[in-house]
Amino acid sequence: MDQYLTSLIPAASLNFTPKWNSETAIDWCSCAKGYSDTFLAGFLWLDKLGLSALYGMEMVLRQCLYGAYFGILNHENKPRNDYWLSFLYKKLVGTQVYGVSFNLVEPKLRLYAASSRK
């Protein structure tokens, strides 16, 4: 599929194509009550924001704004933890992303560094 799309788009314009991560959530398969709507799930959301910044995504769009167990707002229209994490991320984290490398026994741990907003 990627080869087909690449053949349709002139090579010179590929650098100017915006990258969006859309219809995303912290988990897959409708998430889970008591997990996707808790403090713990916020770490998965921050990881997704960090990875998206690292790969140059210009926009990250949640799949569900309201309801379900992974919506930003719960069934009472009250913001969940991910709402506040997104709000703080947008207010505090800048656009410059820095490469971070370290040697650990646990290779599944990821670390991100970015500039702050002015």
The model's pTM:
0.74
Q: In this model, does residue 2 exceed pLDDT 50?
A: no
Least confident segment among 23-32, 33-42, 47-56, 99-108: 23-32
Q: In this model, does residue 73 exceed pLDDT 50?
A: yes
Helix (H) or strand (E) holding 2: helix 2-8
C-alpha pair distances (Å), 3 with each of 8, 9, 61, 82 = 9, 10, 25, 35
Q: Is 33 exposed, middle or buried (0-12, 13-18, 19+ CB in 10 A)?
A: exposed
Q: Is 55 exposed, middle or buried (0-12, 13-18, 19+ CB in 10 A)?
A: exposed
Q: What is the pLDDT of residue 88?
A: 94
Rounded distance between C-alpha atoms, residue 33 and residue 78, angstroms: 16
Mean of all residue pLDDT scores within the chain:
77
